[in-house]
Amino acid sequence: MRKAAILAAGDSTRMMPLSANIPKHLLPVAGKPLIFHTLKALQDAGIKETLVVYGYRGEELRTAIDEQQWGEMSIHYTFQEKRMGTAHAAGYAREFAGDDDILLMYGDIMAESSSFKGLVDFHNKGMYSLTMAVFPVEDISAYGVVVVKDEKVTDISEKPKLGDVDSNLINAGIFGVTSELWDAIDKTELSSRGEYEITDSIMMLAENESVGAYTLPSWWVDVGKPWDLLEANKQILSTAKREIKGTVEEGTTLIGDVIVEEGAKIRSGAYIQGPVYIAKGCKIGPNCYIRPHTCLMGGVKVGNACEVKNSLVMEGSSIGHLSYVGDSIIGRQVNFGAGTTTANLRHDNKSISVTIKEKRVSSGRRKLGTIIGDFVKTGIGTLIYPGAILHTHAQTGIGVIVDRDIEEGKLVIVKQDKMELKSTSIK
């Protein structure tokens, strides 16, 4: 198997506000766009040709990919005009595949190159018409659950309740496919959601016991919602190796695998505990604390006496002095006024909920801070509740407590009353 196809045409609505000005697949993970990690993993797995099926803000995606060097792996593109389900999207790879077997995957999936290589080797044994990657999880309720017997897929149940299905294996969104899939797609009918579902196509093949299951041997992340970037960032940074190219002043402490790119400056008194990624143009400190699994993109500023923990801060953003950022995702060109604090834990220790497409959704995370869109500004002393979203161009005045989402372009201020004292005498 020498070919792969990445389905990356989705409109990224679940990633709002982070995807308002950039395609989801270019959002940063450990210093690089998400899709760059996938392309590199495919390259390492021996793939020689990759098709990217693009849609939303697709020209930006295409330009970014073409600006990179991919060695012996060539990149091809096709535009998906309409989004009518995963089977419909997969059909765009038919001409590219020809008579060859290909690796087909969703564009928001991240995994190690060894997982891709393992699936390719498994599929190349020629035992199945289609190979489905599966992955074990504790909470199956948000996924398509796969029932496997004797290495064969026998059933796929979409987002079942706990106990309804005797399996903890989920559809990992990576497949080894033969030309038989295209025939099955042609026969696939609209689902109850009004889409052509690739799982329906796969179940047609499974009826003939011709779908094999390959369990991924290492980590896997479905980057479908904003907080998934934190998990992806953690997995990639966990493999990072210490590399110091920027300027590090005397009196700075760097612990573990810290990456400081050329052009970054770390001022005296900064304490940085890896794994941490600090991109070119960053100015860190003095006297601040950067904790593990933090990624600071190009030109980020972290001021005096700040603490940043397990967070992603995108290009050009500034964290003003005396601020705390924990378990948060901060967009581009954001300005935090001095003393801005992101709360990241409920008193009852329950999972933090976030608004996704106008519905409250559990993040499944006990610790989650805020999600900030591009060009947001906070006034000094702003306090932000766990799970609150500040959409693009939102602003807060001095001392605001953000206990709910702030809509795009809205300003929230505190109104104060003056009261007449009964007595002003000093006793």
Other beta carbons less than 10 A from residue 405's beta carbon? 18
**CB-based contact 170:140 (threshold 8 Å):** yes
DSSP three-state, residue 245: coil
DSSP string, 282-297: -EE-SS-EE-TTEEE-
Instruction: Tell me the C-alpha distance between 307 and 270, whole Å.
Output: 10
Q: Take residue 198 and report the two structure tokens written for it.
A: 């690739």
DSSP 8-state code for residue 15 = G
**CB-based contact 166:227 (threshold 8 Å):** no
**CB-based contact 227:354 (threshold 8 Å):** yes
Q: How many helices (H) and strands (E) does the chain have?
A: 8, 40
**CB-based contact 196:185 (threshold 8 Å):** yes
Element at 134 (helix H, strand E): strand 130-136
Single-letter amino acid code for the residue at 175: F
Counting Cα atoms < 13 Å in the Cβ hemisphere of 107 gives 29
Asked if 321 is an active-site residue, the reply is yes
Instruction: Tell me the C-alpha distance between 102 and 47, whole Å.
Output: 9
Q: Take residue 171 and report the two structure tokens written for it.
A: 């559809």
Instruction: Tell me the C-alpha distance between 360 and 365, whole Å.
Output: 14
* Alpha helix ranges (H) inside 102-261: 113-123, 180-187, 198-206, 228-237
Q: Which of 200, 134, 221, 144 shows the shortest CA–CA distance to 172?
A: 134
Please report, in angstroms and rounded to a whole number, the separation of the first and last CA atoms in the chain: 88
Of 321, 347, 391, 393, the active-site residue reads: 321
Which sequence positions are flagged as catalytic?
Answer: 321
